[in-house]
Amino acid sequence: MNVHEYQAKEIFGRHGIHVLEGRVVRTAAEARQAAAALGGPVVVKAQVHTGGRGKAGGIKLASGPEEAEAKATDILKLSIKGFPVRKLLVTPAVEIEHEYYVGAILDREDGLPLMMVSGEGGIDIEEVAAKTPEKIHKLHFDPDHGLRAFQARELAHKIEPNGRQALGIATLLVKLSKAFLAAGASLAEINPLVRCADGTFLALDAKLNLDDSEVALRKDLEALRDPDGSGGHTDKAREFGLSYIPLEGDIGCVVNGAGLAMATMDLVKHFGGDPANFLDIGGSSSPAKVVAALEILTADKHVRVILFNIFGGITRCDHVAEGIVAALEQTHIELPIVVRLTGTNEGRGREILEESGAAIFAGTMEEAVQKAVALAAGTEVKG
Amino acid sequence: MNVHEYQAKEIFGRHGIHVLEGRVVRTAAEARQAAAALGGPVVVKAQVHTGGRGKAGGIKLASGPEEAEAKATDILKLSIKGFPVRKLLVTPAVEIEHEYYVGAILDREDGLPLMMVSGEGGIDIEEVAAKTPEKIHKLHFDPDHGLRAFQARELAHKIEPNGRQALGIATLLVKLSKAFLAAGASLAEINPLVRCADGTFLALDAKLNLDDSEVALRKDLEALRDPDGSGGHTDKAREFGLSYIPLEGDIGCVVNGAGLAMATMDLVKHFGGDPANFLDIGGSSSPAKVVAALEILTADKHVRVILFNIFGGITRCDHVAEGIVAALEQTHIELPIVVRLTGTNEGRGREILEESGAAIFAGTMEEAVQKAVALAAGTEVKG
Amino acid sequence: MSILIDENTKVVVQGITGHDGSFHTRGMREYGTQVVAGVTPGKGGLDLEGVPVFNTVAEAVRETGANASVIYVRAPFAPDAIREAAHAGIELVVAISEGIPALEMARVLREVTPLGTRVVGPNSPGLISPGKCKIGIMPGAIHAPGKIGVVSRSGTLTYEMVWQLSQHGLGQSTCIGIGGDPIIGTCFLDVLRLFKDDPDTEGVVLIGEIGGSAEEEAAAYISQEMRKPAIGFIAGRTAPPGKRMGHAGAIISQGRGTADEKVRALEAAGIAVARVPAEVGPLMKQALGAA
Amino acid sequence: MSILIDENTKVVVQGITGHDGSFHTRGMREYGTQVVAGVTPGKGGLDLEGVPVFNTVAEAVRETGANASVIYVRAPFAPDAIREAAHAGIELVVAISEGIPALEMARVLREVTPLGTRVVGPNSPGLISPGKCKIGIMPGAIHAPGKIGVVSRSGTLTYEMVWQLSQHGLGQSTCIGIGGDPIIGTCFLDVLRLFKDDPDTEGVVLIGEIGGSAEEEAAAYISQEMRKPAIGFIAGRTAPPGKRMGHAGAIISQGRGTADEKVRALEAAGIAVARVPAEVGPLMKQALGAA
C-alpha cells in the first residue's frame, strides 16, 4: 500500500527525521491560507499515489499566497498517470546546498533490508544508478535492529567528505532504517535529502510503501489508507479479500490464484482478446466472494463476457458454483458466463451449475479462453 | 538497583500482566483510607528493599479499614533486615486457587536471559528448587525478542495440565520476558503467581532488580530510585561515582577497584582488624572523588583510621594525592591516614603527599594494612 | 525416487483442529501421506480421526518421530509456528499460511536456517511426490508418478501445468510450489540443485512470474550446471506494470523482473519457454527426445 | 612465547581522541606496542602524535592491517564500537569501557562471536605480554617477561598480584584481566585453554572474586585438563553478602558463588590458594619446584 508524501513525512518525523512543517489542503483557497500562514515562498505539491509528479506539473513553486492559490488551481485540475489530484501539500521553499539520495528497501533476493545512499540525489537518481553504479552505496541491515550506527557511518562517510556532516547523515540513516522497520515497510525513501545552508539535513520529499500483509494485521497502518486513492471497485474487492486491478478490455476474468490469473490474461491476449481486469479470488474462497466478484465485474460497463478459470485446491469448485448461482439469483446478469472448473470438489461444482443452467462450460483453460474471446467478439458459442 | 513491589507491579501492569489495584501509603491513617476505598479485606505489605518480609511480620491481612490501620501502625514500626519501613502497599485480599512461581533472570554463565517456572510457587520455592529440582523448568530466551510464544507454551504446559489455563500462563510468561527486557533488568520475578477462582492469573507479588549500568543510562529507570531506600552516604557516593557499602568496623578503606577493595578488607580481617566499609573509588579518579570519599568516611563516627590502598592504572596516584591534600585543606581531619600508592604517576603522588606531610606511608599493601590495624588498636605507628 | 518427501516422510500438521488444517489433513491422509501427529496449543490429548493432537511440536516429535511439518495456522501466528517446528528439530517445514509480513518472514528465516531447517513457502501450495506423499493443499488426483520435476512460484498455475503434463503421460517425480511471497525459504536454485542430483528426475519444468530476479538466476544455474532438459513458463506477459517501488525498486532491479526479460534469460540459457500452458507437455516430450 | 598478543600485534585504538584513549595510547606506545591506527567517527584524517586517525574501523584495517582493537569509548557507544570492530574483521577486541548494560553485552556477544572475534572484557584492564605488547591501562613497569600466565576478573588486584610475582622474580608470559562484569567475552576457561597450549607458560595464577561460578568451572578444568601448576586467589572472603537476587538468584546459584565455596572448589582440584597476596609468589615458587 502506498501512503502519501505528507503521511510519510509525518511518520519519518516521528522517528526524529527533520521534515518541513507543511499543510495538507484540498482547495486552492486553503492553499492560499496555508501559504499565508507559512509565510515566504512555498512549494505546492500534488499528493497522488504515483511518481513523476514533478515532470507532470504536479509540483510548483509559488512566491506567496496569491501565486500559491493560482498554482493550486492548476494542479487540482491534473490527473497524473490516471490519479486525479485531490490533495495538495504546501511547504515552505528552502535554500538547498546539496542533494543526496537515501532509501531503505526489502531486498527479496538476499532476504534482508537494504540501505542505499548516493551523494548525487534528486530526480536523476535512476540515471546515476544506471550510468555510474559505483556512486550508489548499499548495505544490508538487521531486520530487528535497523542499521547499526557504525554501518550508518560507513555509508555516510562514502557520500559526504566532511566528517561532521557525515555524522549528521549517519544519524538520519539510523532513524530512517528504524522508521522502515517500525512501519513494516517495503520501501522508505528520501529523495532528495538536502543539506541546508545551516548544515542541517532535511527530507524534502518522502516516499513510503507498506507491505499489504503488515497493513492487514495493523490498525495503525490501515488508518493511513487514502479512501480517495483508488476507485470504489477496489475497495469492495479489498473488503471481500479479492485482488482486483481494472484494465481496458471487455473480458471479465475471475480466477483463483495470481499466477493462474496472469496466465489466463496472457492467454486471452494470445487468442486475440482483451482482458477487462485482473481478479484473483484467492485461496479460501466462499460463495460470498464469488458474488462480490460478479458484482464488481458487472458494474464495469466495458465487460461483455465473464470468464471463470478455477483450478481448485484450497478453493473448492462447489463454493465457486454456489457463488455464481447465488449471484444470478440476487441480480439479473445478462452477460454470458464461461466457466472452467477443475480440482477440489469439481464434480459437485459442475452439478450445481448444470442444475441452474447458468453457464457455458469449458473442459480446459484454452477452450474457456477461446469461447470467451469469441463471445466478446460477438461470435455465437455453444455451451 | 532494587525497586519496590508497587513499582514492579506498575511496570508489569504496563506490559499487560494482571496485577491487583493497590494503594501506596506512608501512614496508618492513609492505610485506613486505602482499605476503605478498596472495600473488603485487604493485605498491608511493607515496601522495603529486601526479601523475607512475610516472616519478619511485614505482610498482614486485615478484615477492614480499622484492622488495616492497626496493622499498618505495627508494620511502620518495623525495621526489616536493617531497612526501616517507610511505605506500605495496601491491596485487596484475593481467593487463591493455585500458586505458581515464574521468574526471569540474566544467566551470566550462558550469557542469556533465562525463564524459570514451577507449578509449586510461594515462599518455599527455594526449598522446592533444592529438594526437587525437577519441578523447576528453565528455558533461555532471546535477549532481543523475549520468550517466543512457543517457548512460553512449552514451559506452561509443564506446570499446568489444563490446556486452556496453560495458554493463560504462556501469555503471561511472554509479557514478563518483555517487561524484563524493556527494563534492562537483571531479575523480574512473580512469586506467587496465582490462579484465581475465575481462572485468571494474577501477580500477587512482584520483584524487579535493575542493572545499575542500565539505570545510569536511562532517566526513566533512575526516576524509580527510592530516596528513602538507603542512607545519605550512599547517595553522596553515587553522585561522585563511588561504590560504597557501610559496615560495622573502625578502619575506613579507600581503594581503587572492587577486587582490590575486597582483598584489602580480607587482609584487614586477616591481620585482626575490622573494616568500616567497602569503598571503591573506581577507574578514572579525580581529586574531587577522593575529597568526597574522605568526607563520607570521616562522617562515620566509628572510623578510627583511614587506609588508602591505591594501585594506579587508569587511576593516577597524583590525583589521589591531590584529593587527600585538598580534603585536608577544606576540612580538619584528625584521623590518621595510612597511604599506599603504587602504579601510574606513583612518584608524583608521593611527592605531593610528602610536601604536605599529611599521611603515613606504606610501601606494600601488607604494610599499609598492618599499620592501619595497629593504629585502630591504639598502638603507636611511625610514618 | 523423489526429492524432499517420499513414503517414509512423517508429517505433523500445525493447526490441525482449524478449518483448513482439518480439511487438508483428511486430503493428505486420503492421498496416503503418513500424518502421524497434529498440534494445536491447548488442545493436546484430542484424537482427530485417529491422529493424536499435541500441545507442542516438541512433544509431537518426541512421541511420533515426525520429521516434516505443514503449517495451516493464520498469518499472525504462523511465524511462531515455523520457529517452533524448527526448534523442535523438524527438517522440512511447509508453510501454507498466507499473509505473513515479508520483514517478519526475513526474521524467521534468519533464525531457523542455521538450525538446519528447510522452509518451503510461505504462501505455498505445498509439495507432492506423486504416489508417495503429499504435503499441502494441491488436488492429488491431477498428479501422476513419473520423472518430471516441477518447481513453481504459483499455486493454481502449478496445478494447471501438472495437469497438462499428466494429460501428456508425463508423470512427476516431485512438484513444489515455493510460494509467491517476496521472502520465501526454499528458492528455485535450491530446488534445481536437488532435481539435478535426483537420478529419477529426467526433466524439469520451471514456472515463473513477473517480479524479482529468481528466474534469471535459475536460468543461469540451469545453463551452467544442469544436464537435464528444462522447460520454462512465465506468467504475466500482459500484466499491467506493478506499482512503482520508488527509485529504490528501479535501482536494485536494474531492469530485471519483467516477463520479457525473464523469457529472454531462459531462452538465452537454452531453455524452451512455453507460450501457452498447453505447449508445456509437447515441449517437454520434444526436449526429452532430444536429450 | 605468549598468548593472544605479542610483538607482531597491530593495534587500532577506538576512541583515540578521547581523554582516556589519548592518555593510554601514549602509555601503550611507550611500552612498545605497535599502535598502527586510531578511530574517532568524524575525525578521520587527523594525526595523533604519528598515529593516523580514521573515521571507521573498516578503513583503519584496510589502510594499516590492524588485527586487534582496544576500546576506550564511553558505555553508551561501546557496544556499537565492539560490533564495528568485529564486522571489520578484527580478531581480538579489548573492551576497557565500563558501564555497559549486561543485557546489551549479551546481545553484542551473540552477534560478534559467530564472526570469529574474541572479545576481552568489557570493564577489563586489558592484557599484556610483558616486553612485547601491552593493550589496556595497566602500569607496564610492574610486569616482567617470564613464564607465569595470569588471569583475573579484577583490575587493580591483578596489578597487585603481578607486582608480587615480579618482586619474587616470577616474570609473566601474558596477564589478562577478563573483566568484572556479569557478562563478559573471554572467560577463565578460554584463557586456561590457551595457557595450557602455550609452551612458554609454565604456571598459572588465577585471581577470582565472589559471585558467579566461573572459578568453580575453572577449578574443574584445571584438575581434569591442565598439567601445569596453578595458584589461586579469591577476593571477598569477608565481603558483606551481596543484595539478594530474589528467589531466582538462589535457584540458579544453588549455593555456589561464595568465597568459601570457591576456595573449596580450587583446593579440591589440588590448587593451592593464597590467603594473602604476599603468599602468591612463594606458593608459585613452591609449586614450580614440585612440578
- Tell me, yes or no, whether D3 lies in a domain: no
Q: How many domains does chain D have?
A: 2
Cα angle D65, D70, D76 (rounded to 5 degrees) comes to 125
Task: Look at residues C120, C139, C162 and tell me which one is the last residue of a structural domain.
Answer: C120
Chain A residue at shortest CA distance from D81: A150
The interaxial angle of helices B317-330 and B287-299, nearest 10 deg, is: 50
**Using CA atoms, how far apart are residues C116 and B116, in angstroms rounded to an integer?**
27
Upper half-sphere CA count for residue C129 (Cβ side, 13 Å): 18
Q: How far is B148 from chain A (nearest CA, A)?
A: 15
Q: Give percent above pLDDT 70 in chain B.
A: 96
H or E segment to which residue D37 belongs: strand D34-39
Number of A/B CB contacts below 8 angstroms equals 3
H or E segment to which residue B348 belongs: helix B346-356
Burial of B196 (0-12, 13-18, 19+ CB in 10 A): middle
Q: Residue D271 in contact with residue B145, Cβ under 8 Å?
A: no
> What would the grid cell of residue D208 be?
577470582
Residue whose cell numbers read 492467454: A267
Burial of A355 (0-12, 13-18, 19+ CB in 10 A): exposed
Q: Do both C115 and C178 map to the same domain?
A: no
D80 vs A contacts (CB less than 8 Å): 148-150
- Tell me, yes or no, whether D229 lies in a domain: yes
Domain boundaries, chain B: 21-92, 96-222, 232-376
D44 vs A contacts (CB less than 8 Å): 157, 163
Q: Do both D235 and D266 map to the same domain?
A: yes
Q: Do both D107 and D148 map to the same domain?
A: no
Kindly report, residue by residue over B116-174, the tens digit of the pLDDT.
Answer: 999 998 878 888 888 999 999 999 999 999 999 999 999 999 999 999 999 999 999 99
- Tell me, yes or no, whether C2 lies in a domain: no
Percent of chain B as helix, strand, coil, to the nearest 5? 40, 25, 35
- Tell me, yes or no, whether D156 lies in a domain: yes
Residue-averaged pLDDT of chain B: 90
**Which amino acid, B377?**
A
Helix (H, G, I), strand (E, B) or coil at A142: strand
Residue range A185-192: average pLDDT? 95
DSSP string over B71-95: HHHHHHT-EETTEE---EEEEE---
- pLDDT, residue D244, reads 47
**Using CA atoms, how far apart are residues D214 and D218, in angstroms rounded to an integer?**
6
H or E segment to which residue C57 belongs: helix C57-64
User: Before D122, cis peptide (omega within 30)?
Assistant: yes
D115 inside 8 A of chain A by CB: no
In 3D, which of A342, A347, A335, A341 has the Cα closest to residue A372?
A335
Residue-averaged pLDDT of chain A: 90
- Tell me, yes or no, whether D29 lies in a domain: yes
Strands (E), B211-336: 243-246, 251-255, 277-280, 305-312
Residue whose cell numbers read 494429460: C167
Q: Phi and psi of A48, rounded to 5°?
A: -135, 155
Q: In this model, does residue B188 exceed pLDDT 60?
A: yes
Kindly report, residue by residue over C27-68, the tens digit of the pLDDT.
Answer: 999 999 999 999 999 999 999 999 999 999 999 999 999 999
CATH of the domain at C82: 3.40.50.720
A270 inside 8 A of chain B by CB: no
Q: Count of residues for chain C? A: 291
Helix (H, G, I), strand (E, B) or coil at B149: helix
Window 111-170 of B: residues touching C by CB (8 A cutoff) are 148-151, 153-154, 157, 163-164, 166-167, 170
Which amino acids of C are annotated catalytic? 247
Domain at A96-222, CATH homologous superfamily? ATP-grasp fold, B domain (3.30.470.20)
- pLDDT, residue A53, reads 87
- Bridge pairing between strands B185-196 and B96-107: antiparallel
Predicted TM-score (pTM) of this structure: 0.92
B343 vs D contacts (CB less than 8 Å): 139, 142, 156, 159
H or E segment to which residue A84 belongs: strand A83-84
Chain B residue at shortest CA distance from A145: B144
Q: Do both C82 and C143 map to the same domain?
A: no
Q: Do both D212 and D249 map to the same domain?
A: yes
**Which amino acid, A273?**
G
| Residue among C45, C59, C80 minimizing CB distance to B149 | C80
Q: Could B163 and C87 be called an inter-chain contact, meaning their C-beta atoms sit closer than 8 Å?
A: no
Q: Do both D153 and D111 map to the same domain?
A: no
Q: Residue C204 in contact with residue C149, Cβ under 8 Å?
A: yes
Task: Tell me the CA end-to-end span of chain D in Å, nearest whole number.
Answer: 20
**Using CA atoms, how far apart are residues B98 and B119, in angstroms rounded to an integer?**
9
Upper half-sphere CA count for residue D154 (Cβ side, 13 Å): 30
D158 vs B contacts (CB less than 8 Å): 259
Q: Residue D57 in contact with residue D63, Cβ under 8 Å?
A: no
C43 vs B contacts (CB less than 8 Å): 163
Q: Could A149 and D77 be called an inter-chain contact, meaning their C-beta atoms sit closer than 8 Å?
A: yes
DSSP string over A114-160: EEEEESS-STTHHHHHHH-GGGEEEEE-BTTTBS-HHHHHHHHHHH-
Residue whose cell numbers read 526436449: C287
D45 vs A contacts (CB less than 8 Å): 163
- pLDDT, residue B235, reads 73
Chain B residue at shortest CA distance from D214: B109
Q: How far is C43 from chain B (nearest CA, A)?
A: 6
Chain B residue at shortest CA distance from D216: B109
Q: In this model, does residue B369 exceed pLDDT 50?
A: yes
Window 166-185 of B: residues touching D by CB (8 A cutoff) are 181, 184-185
Q: Which of B353-357, C263-267, D38-42 has the lowest mean pLDDT?
A: B353-357
Instruction: Return the residue in C156, C164, C206 with the most chain A beta carbons within 10 A, the one to mutate for interface testing.
Output: C156
**Using CA atoms, how far apart are residues B342 and B363, in angstroms rounded to an integer?**
8
Domain that includes residue D191, residue range: 126-290
- The 10 Å Cβ neighbour count of residue B55 is 10
Q: Could C45 and B154 be called an inter-chain contact, meaning their C-beta atoms sit closer than 8 Å?
A: no
Architecture of the structural domain at B21-92: 2-Layer Sandwich (3.30)
**Using CA atoms, how far apart are residues D52 and D177, in angstroms rounded to an integer?**
28
Residue whose cell numbers read 512449552: B154
Q: Which of A70-84, A197-211, B273-287 has the lowest mean pLDDT?
A: B273-287
- pLDDT, residue C244, reads 47
- pLDDT, residue A243, reads 86
- B239: alpha, beta or left, given left = phi > 0 and alpha = psi -120 to 50? alpha
CATH of the domain at C285: 3.40.50.261
Q: Give percent above pLDDT 70 in chain C.
A: 93
Q: Do both C229 and C248 map to the same domain?
A: yes
- Bridge pairing between strands C92-95 and C68-71: parallel
- pLDDT, residue A198, reads 87
Upper half-sphere CA count for residue A231 (Cβ side, 13 Å): 11
Taking the CA atoms of B216, B221, B223 and B225 in sequence, report the sign of the dihedral they define. Answer: negative
Q: Which residues pair with A43 in a beta bridge?
A: A61, A91
H or E segment to which residue A102 belongs: strand A96-107
Q: How far is D56 from chain A (nearest CA, A)?
A: 7
Number of B/C CB contacts below 8 angstroms equals 34
Q: Which residues contact B32 (CB under 8 A, 6 or more apart)?
A: B65, B66, B68, B69, B72
Task: Look at residues D102, D120, D138 and tell me which one is the last residue of a structural domain.
Answer: D120
Q: Which residues contact D151 (CB under 8 A, 6 or more apart)?
A: D175, D176, D178, D188, D191, D192, D195, D204, D205, D206, D207
Kindly report, residue by residue over C216-248, the tens digit of the pLDDT.
Answer: 999 999 999 999 999 999 998 887 655 445 566
**Using CA atoms, how far apart are residues B38 and B120, in angstroms rounded to an integer?**
29
Cα dihedral value C77, C79, C85, C90, nearest 10 = 140
- Tell me, yes or no, whether C4 lies in a domain: no
Task: Tell me the CA end-to-end span of chain C in Å, nearest whole number.
Answer: 20
Q: Do both C59 and C132 map to the same domain?
A: no
Q: Residue A26 in contact with residue A86, Cβ under 8 Å?
A: yes
Helix (H, G, I), strand (E, B) or coil at B199: coil
B145 inside 8 A of chain A by CB: yes
In 3D, which of A376, A359, A262, A272 has the Cα closest to residue A317?
A359
A144 vs B contacts (CB less than 8 Å): 144-145
Q: Residue A239 in contact with residue A293, Cβ under 8 Å?
A: no
Which amino acids of A are annotated catalytic? 101, 189
* Structural Rg of chain C based on CA atoms: 19
Answer yes or no: same fold for A96-222 and A232-376.
no
| Residue among C20, C209, C212 minimizing CB distance to A259 | C209
A14 inside 8 A of chain B by CB: no
Burial of B40 (0-12, 13-18, 19+ CB in 10 A): exposed
- pLDDT, residue D243, reads 45
Task: Look at residues D73, D103, D120 and tell me which one is the last residue of a structural domain.
Answer: D120
Q: Do both C71 and C110 map to the same domain?
A: yes
Q: Do both C218 and C96 map to the same domain?
A: no
Which is higher by pLDDT, B359 or C90? C90
Window 122-141 of D: residues touching B by CB (8 A cutoff) are 125, 137-139
- Bridge pairing between strands A185-196 and A360-361: unpaired
Q: Do both D198 and D65 map to the same domain?
A: no
Q: In this model, does residue B250 exceed pLDDT 70?
A: yes
A149 vs D contacts (CB less than 8 Å): 77, 80
Helices (H), A22-144: 28-38, 65-76, 125-131
H or E segment to which residue A190 belongs: strand A185-196
C42 inside 8 A of chain A by CB: no
Q: Could A163 and D44 be called an inter-chain contact, meaning their C-beta atoms sit closer than 8 Å?
A: yes
Q: Which residues contact C243 (CB under 8 A, 6 or more apart)?
A: A2, A49, A209
Kindly report, residue by residue over B46-76, the tens digit of the pLDDT.
Answer: 998 877 888 888 999 999 999 999 999 999 9
- pLDDT, residue C243, reads 45
- Tell me, yes or no, whether C1 lies in a domain: no
In 3D, which of D171, D240, D182 has the Cα closest to residue D212?
D182
Residue-averaged pLDDT of chain D: 93
Q: Do both D157 and D237 map to the same domain?
A: yes
- Considering all CA atoms of chain B, what is the largest pairwise distance in Å, rounded to the nearest integer? 78
Residue range D2-19: average pLDDT? 96
Q: Does domain B232-376 have CATH number 3.40.50.1980?
A: no
Kindly report, residue by residue over C257-282, the tens digit of the pLDDT.
Answer: 788 899 999 999 999 999 999 999 99
Q: Residue B213 in contact with residue D249, Cβ under 8 Å?
A: no
- Bridge pairing between strands C34-39 and C10-14: parallel
- The 10 Å Cβ neighbour count of residue A100 is 23
Helices (H) and strands (E) in chain C, counts: 10, 14
Q: Residue C38 in contact with residue C53, Cβ under 8 Å?
A: yes
Q: Which of B6, B100, B101, B244 is flagged as catalytic?
A: B101
Q: Phi and psi of C105, rounded to 5°?
A: -65, -35
Kindly report, residue by residue over D234-285, the tens digit of the pLDDT.
Answer: 998 887 655 445 566 666 666 667 888 999 999 999 999 999 999 999 999 9
- The 10 Å Cβ neighbour count of residue D131 is 18
Kindly report, residue by residue over A215-264, the tens digit of the pLDDT.
Answer: 999 999 999 988 765 555 677 888 888 888 888 899 999 999 889 999 99
> What would the grid cell of residue B232 be?
545519605
> What would the grid cell of residue D40 be?
574517532
- Tell me, yes or no, whether C203 lies in a domain: yes
